[in-house]
Structure 1
Amino acid sequence: MSLDYGRLFRLDGKTALVVGAGSGIGREAALALAAHGATVICADRDLPAAADTASAADGLTSYGLDVLDTEAVERAVRDLPDVDVLVFTAATNVRKRMVDYTAGEFDRVVALNLRASFELIRLFGASMAERGGGSIIGFSSIRGTTVEAGQSVYAATKAGLVQLLRTAAAEFGPNGVRANAIAPGVVETPLTAQIKADPAWYDAYARKGALGRWATPDELAGAVVYLASDASTFVTGSVLAVDGGWTAVDGRFDPPN
């Protein structure tokens, strides 16, 4: 029997949990998954924000979840036993040079970006493995590959997340669970609002990529749908760059006429 390519990206019958669905990339990911037929649970520490996303389309519900609370994550696995697709976007950053970083700031960035991600991956991954399949999609960053001054801890967590997901791919793969990372470039989200407000910084980042602009959150949604769907059934342990060519282009030079 041949594959129905017309339904390759459809997610009918699948349940997706999007952690960080209250805003930015998470919100758009939730809406895109629902548009392709998934039943979507919009999870966020900010429950009203999650509820607002859930109200934007059919097939979405909201769930309050603080991923820094391991017991809450464990409870979520019990409350949501049939998750086929896990997407998590929550992250934080403290832009400081290494010599200015405090131990408290280090712990705060690592706790959300790495430890909370670890708990989500291992707990929901184990649940998926028991049921014989699933897709885990985490958001790394171009900073998992390329760095700049002031990005040390954030970059380390984003590189570490890739390795966590690759390990999950190895450990859960025999049970049909796939695990992949998406690595965005610079995206217009609440996390980047401060630098976006500085025209010089905005323009410098826009010029770094091949497309000469920042991304909007909806431009990451297609990658999420792809990795959640049957279009990617043999894709696991990978990093999908959605960065406008940032990591492909080493500077920009326009030769004179």
Structure 2
Amino acid sequence: MTYADLFRLDGRRIAVVGGASGIGRESARALAAQGAEVLVADRDVAGAEETARLAAAERPAPGAETGAVSVHPLDVLDEAAVRTTADGWGALDGLVVTVGANVRKRMADYTLGDFDRVVALNLRAYLTLVQSVAPGMAERGRGSVVGLASMRAFQVEAGQSVYAASKAGLVQLLRTAAAEWGPRGVRFNAVAPGVVRTPLTDQIAADPQWYEAYARASALGRWAGAEEIAGAVAYLVSDASTYVTGSVLTVDGGWTAVDGRYEPSL
């Protein structure tokens, strides 16, 4: 391995689950640009097909085998479908999971249905996917799994109870997986974004005051674009991070460093 190739993914097969939009879509594009064969999996088939079209355009050599992109319909809440689809994928070098949900309510107003929906997508689906993919990676002695957590795993606000708890749980799930499969060469890491413009944050972005308040809360004074998270994902599945496992890469524009700050007149 030379440093010039440190981030290249030529010859690697990487599945992106939740790839129909947002961070998943941009991750698929970034991985394809580095030469990976990308498997775009999502329940939203039309969205996944659009992602595949965009990712294919990023390929280093259009028409060549390197960087091939394919679409795989998948409902991550269907355990049998997850296991069957994962079997069909064959040998994977990487798995990126970006699925998630949030129900913004005060705890007193939360229903068990709300709770189950958020935990199912933010935590249970990750367990099923890891169980379906990690053993095969371990047999081959290599592999990298990246899950999308959130800065809310560490820093909360009103209305974020179950979302924050599920993301904190995801961090510990991936850390435990790192401990269990690390001796067999499989790495597990989380990316913890701050506020990012995706379909999941449309509710916030539609409120000008809310949008501006969140922008001001980070050190950079703005929201992130989904493409700004894709680089962290590409890094964690590349050879640039071969000694990184059980970690959380925070990509939040400095929010957790400066949140709640007061700037006195000096």
Judge same fold: TM > 0.5, yes or no: yes
Give 1:130 deviation, angstroms: 1.5
The 1-side partners of 2:137 and 2:195 are apart by 32
Is 1:231 the counterpart of 2:240? The answer is yes
2:181 matched to 1:183?
no
Stretches of structure 1 lacking an aligned partner (at least 5 in a row): none
1:70 aligns with 2:79: yes
Q: C-alpha separation between the residues in 1 aligned to 2:158 and 2:256?
A: 17
| Native 8 Å contact 2:23 2:226 kept in 1 | yes
1:7 aligned partner: 5
Residue matched to 1:40: 38
Between the aligned partners of 1:48 and 1:126, the Cα distance in structure 2 is: 30
Q: In the alignment, what sits opposite 2:62? A: none
Q: Kindly indicate whether residue 202 of structure 2 is the aligned counterpart of residue 193 of structure 1.
A: yes
Which of 242, 246, 251 aligns to 2:251? It is 242
Q: Which residue does 2:227 correspond to in 1?
A: 218
The equivalences for 1:18-57 within 5 A come to 18-57=16-55
| Per-residue deviation, 1:252 | 3.4
CA distance in 2, matches of 1:40, 1:152: 34
Letter in 1 for 2:12: K
Name the aligned partner's letter for residue 186 of structure 1.
V
Q: Please, which of 86, 97, 101 is the counterpart of residue 92 of structure 1? A: 101
Counterparts of 1:6 and 1:245, CA distance in 2: 29
Q: Which of the residues 129, 136, 139 maps onto 2:138?
A: 129
Distance 1:31 1:82 in 2: 21
Residue 111, structure 1, aligned to residue 120, structure 2: yes
Alignment coverage as a number of residue pairs: 255
Q: Secondary structure at the match of 1:137?
A: strand
Q: Which amino acid aligns with 2:42?
A: D
For the 8 Å contact 2:153–2:164, the answer to whether it is kept is yes
Shift of 1:11: 0.3
Letter in 2 for 1:215: A
Do the aligned partners of 1:17 and 1:42 also contact (CA within 8 Å) in 2? yes
Would the aligned equivalents of 1:140 and 1:159 in 2 still touch at CA under 8 Å? yes
Letter in 1 for 2:180: E
Contact 2:20–2:40, Cα closer than 8 Å, also in 1 = yes
Q: Deviation string for 1:11-56 (max 9, x for gaps)?
A: 0110000001100000000000000010000110111110111112
Range with greater deviation from structure 2 (22-31 or 112-121): 112-121
What CA distance in whole angstroms lies between the structure 2 residues aligned with 1:25 and 1:8?
Answer: 23
CA distance in 1, matches of 2:120, 2:133: 18
Q: Secondary structure at the match of 1:244?
A: coil
Q: Say whether the 8 Å CA contact 2:28–2:55 is kept in structure 1.
A: no
> Offset at 1:82?
1.1
Q: 1:101-142, CA deviations, whole angstroms, 9 ceiling, x for partnerless residues?
A: 011111111111111111111221112112211000000000
The TM-score with structure 1 as length reference comes to 0.97
How far has the Cα of 1:69 moved from its partner?
0.2
What amino acid maps onto 2:94 in structure 1? V
**Which residue is 1:101 aligned to?**
110
- Are 1:140 and 1:161, in contact at CA under 8 Å, matched by a contact in 2? yes
Aligned equivalents of 1:9, 1:119: Cα separation in 2: 28
1:79-120 CA deviation, whole Å, 9 max, x = no partner? 011111100101001000111001111111111111111111
> Identical aligned pairs, as a percentage?
64
SS in 2 for 1:162: helix
**1:59-91 superposed Cα distances (whole Å, 9 cap, x missing partner):** 211110100000011001210111111001010
Return the TM-score normalized by structure 2: 0.94
Letter paired with 1:88: V
Within the alignment, does 1:252 sit opposite 2:264 as a pair? no
Distance 2:127 2:55 in 1: 30
Aligned to 2:235, what secondary structure does the other structure show? helix
